[in-house]
Amino acid sequence: MGVMMAAATVHAGDAVPASLVSQLEPGYRLGAEDVLLVSVWKDEQLTREVVVRPDGMFSFPLVGDIQAENQTVEDIRGDLVRRLTKYIPNPNVSVAVTKVASYKVYVVGRVNKPGEYVTGHYTDVLQALSLAGGLTPFAGENDIKVMRRVRGEQQAIPFRYGDIRKGRDLEQNIVLQRGDVVMVP
- For each successive 10 residues of the chain (185 residues), what is the average pLDDT? 37 31 57 95 93 97 95 96 94 94 95 94 93 96 96 95 94 94 98
Secondary-structure breakdown of the chain: helix, strand, coil percentages, each rounded to the nearest 5: 20, 35, 45
Please give the CATH number for the structural domain made up of 7-99. 3.30.1950.10
Domain 104-184 class, CATH top level: alpha beta
Which pLDDT does position 176 carry in this prediction?
A: 95
Which pLDDT does position 27 carry in this prediction?
A: 79
What is the domain partition of the chain in residue ranges? Answer: 7-99, 104-184
Which pLDDT does position 121 carry in this prediction?
A: 80
Which pLDDT does position 28 carry in this prediction?
A: 86
B/e letters for 29-49, b = 16+ CB within 10 Å, e = fewer, are bbbbbbbbebbbeeeeebeee
Please give the radius of gyration of the chain, using alpha carbons only, rounded to the nearest integer.
Answer: 20
d(CA 51, CA 35): 4
Nearest of 50, 48, 44, 36 to residue 8 by alpha carbon: 36
